[in-house]
Each structure stands twice: as C-alpha cells, then as structure tokens.
Amino acid sequence: MSMDRRQFLKIAGISTVLGLGGASVMRGVRGSEAEASHVMTNEKALTAKRWAMVIDVSKFRTEEEYKRLIKACHSIHNVPDFGEPKDAIKWIWTDTYEHTFPTQPNEYMGESVKEKPFVLLCNHCANPPCVRVCPTKATFKRKDGIVMMDQHRCIGCRFCMAACPFGARSFNYKDPRLALKPEDENKEYPTRTIGVVEKCTFCTERLSKGLIPACVEAAREIAKETGTEPGMYFGDLDEPGSEVRKVLSACYTIRRKPELGTEPSVFYVIGGEKNA
C-alpha cells in the first residue's frame, strides 16, 4: 500500500482530532466530581494584607512567663524537646539582648536590659532570604505576608538555615517522635520527620479557624492573670487601625538586624525600668 503526502496528513489530522476528543470525554467521566467541587477559605478565618507582631519585652517580668509562651507553641505544634542544644528544635525561644540586637549594645547599658531574655521567633520577613534560596519552593511567602513551610516539599538541604540571619530554623537531626510522648502529642497536628527543616508559621492553622497565634493568646492569658497589659500584639501592618499599628505609632520600636534589608514583620518595644 502506498500513500501520498496529502493522504497521510489527512489521516494524521483526523486521528489527532479523534484522540483529543477521546481524551476530553475520559476527563469528563473521571473528573466530573472533582470539577463540581471547589475549595475556599473558612468564613471565620482571620485575614490580613501583611501579618505582623509587636513584642513589648518590658511587659514580661519572669523567665516563667516566657516559658509559658514557648510551651503554648511547642505543645500544640508537637515540637520535640531533646534536652540537648545540638538537637534543639525551636519555633519560639529566648536569647540575650546582645545576641538579639548584635549591632546595638553599648558598654554602659543597664542590667535591666542587658540581662533580660528576649523572646524570638521567625520574623516573617517581607524580603525573606530563605524563600529565595529554597530549591523546591518548600519555603514560600503567602499573600498575607506569612513565610510558610510546606513540609511535603522539604528535601532537607538546609540552604534556608544558612540564608536566615536570625537562626529561626531548626533541622530534624533525629526522628522528633523519639522525644514526644504519645500522650503529650497534639493529635490534631502532624509531627515532622527526620531530615526536614521547620520553624514558626505564625499559626496559619489557627488563623484559618479564627484564632490568634498561640503565643499571643498565652501572653494575653498571662496579662489577665497578673492584671497587666499583654506583651504581645498581633495584627495587620497594612491596616492603620490595627492593634500592631497602634502600638507602632505610640512606642519606639526596633527590629532585628534591619541593616540586612530583610524587612522583619516582628517589632520589639524594649522599654526599660522606667516604663516597666
């Protein structure tokens, strides 16, 4: 059998059209339910253009109070405690003034600031270096400014840890479940696994249910118990009337390592004895 060019093109054309038609019929059959469904944000969800936090360290009096913030976060997110600094996983932690603001200290600074622990967490930078270096887009910036981690994509390369100037990221050198007692686990949230990086997420899973971050909630509880003002504020930086904007316009605030240009979304009010 011989075929000229014209015949060949005709047959090829017709079979392509038939093939495409067949494929779309198959999609129609298999995907019908998926196409009729859709996803959306919760009606109750808290939303913002750019989430931000202000931490007023003058409002915290004891190490105990910081421990409560850390426990509130680490217990609901199944963050393990190996009891050894080299394996430590931290979403929220404390450090000294000098380590927090390394370019700021002067030798005449009062004990009240020098010796005070500062509470630290991911800065959710507007210009996050961790996002830029992540080869799998496991770390990415959400529309609401939160720098989120998609554990499903993390390959454990740790570029993000090298890129983050704030030490906000921890690597799972060990299986976190080794240090989590089953009865202490929050069954509603996953753990992580050996070989992935993790960090604070500004409690995205809580925001979607209409709840503020766990640490901010704990700070409010402490304030209620002691009859004082809470030391943590959370809100939309783009909203002039928001809680954080009110504090930012009323108090002098600083951010960690602003000279690096990452534009942190976490602000600090230092205070001191006079304001305390």
Partner 1 sequence: MKLYDGGKIIAGLIIFFFLVTFPFFLNIGKVNAKPEPKIDTPEIQKLAEKKCIESKAFMRAEHMKLLNDWRDSAVRNGERTYVNSKGKEFTISLQNTCMHCHSNKKKFCDECHTYMAVNPYCWNCHIAPKEKES
For the chain, the farthest-separated pair of C-alpha atoms sits apart, in whole angstroms, at: 100
* Nearer to partner 1 (CB atom), residue 25 or residue 162: 25
Minimum CB separation of residue 119 from ligand HEC in Å reads 22
Bridging pattern class, strands 232-236 and 170-171: unpaired
Applying CB under 6 A, the residues found at the interface with ligand HEC are: 151-152, 190, 192-193, 196, 204-205
Q: Specify the stretch interacting with partner 1 by CB under 8 A; choose among 25-33, 62-70, 102-110, 253-261.
A: 25-33
Minimum CB separation of residue 24 from ligand HEC in Å reads 22
Site string for partner 1, 112-151 (x = CB under 8 A): ----------------------------x-xxx---x-xx
- Helix (H) or strand (E) holding 180, with range, is none
Residue carrying structure tokens 């809470």: 230
Which of 234, 207, 208, 204 lies closest to 219, judged by CA? Answer: 234
φ, ψ of residue 238 to 5 degrees: the values are -90, 0
* Nearer to partner 1 (CB atom), residue 132 or residue 142: 142
CA angle 153, 235, 52 (to 5 degrees): 50
Q: Looking only at residues 67 through 86 of this chain, which bind partner 1 when binding is defined by CB under 8 A?
A: 78
- d(Cα 222, Cα 219) in Å, to the nearest integer? 5
Minimum CB separation of residue 148 from partner 1 in Å reads 7
Asked if residue 171 binds partner 1 (CB under 8 A), the reply is: no
Q: Using the rule CB under 8 A, which residue among 24, 42, 127, 136 binds partner 1?
A: 42
Q: Specify the stretch interacting with partner 1 by CB under 8 A; choose among 4-12, 18-26, 203-211, 224-232.
A: 203-211
Residue carrying structure tokens 């963050």: 79
φ, ψ of residue 233 to 5 degrees: the values are -125, 145
Six-digit token string for 126? 């507007």
Neighbours of 194 (CB within 10 A): 13
Minimum CB separation of residue 114 from partner 1 in Å reads 40
Residues that bind partner 1 (CB under 8 A): 30, 32-34, 36-43, 45, 78, 140, 142-144, 148, 150-152, 185, 187-193, 204-205, 207-208
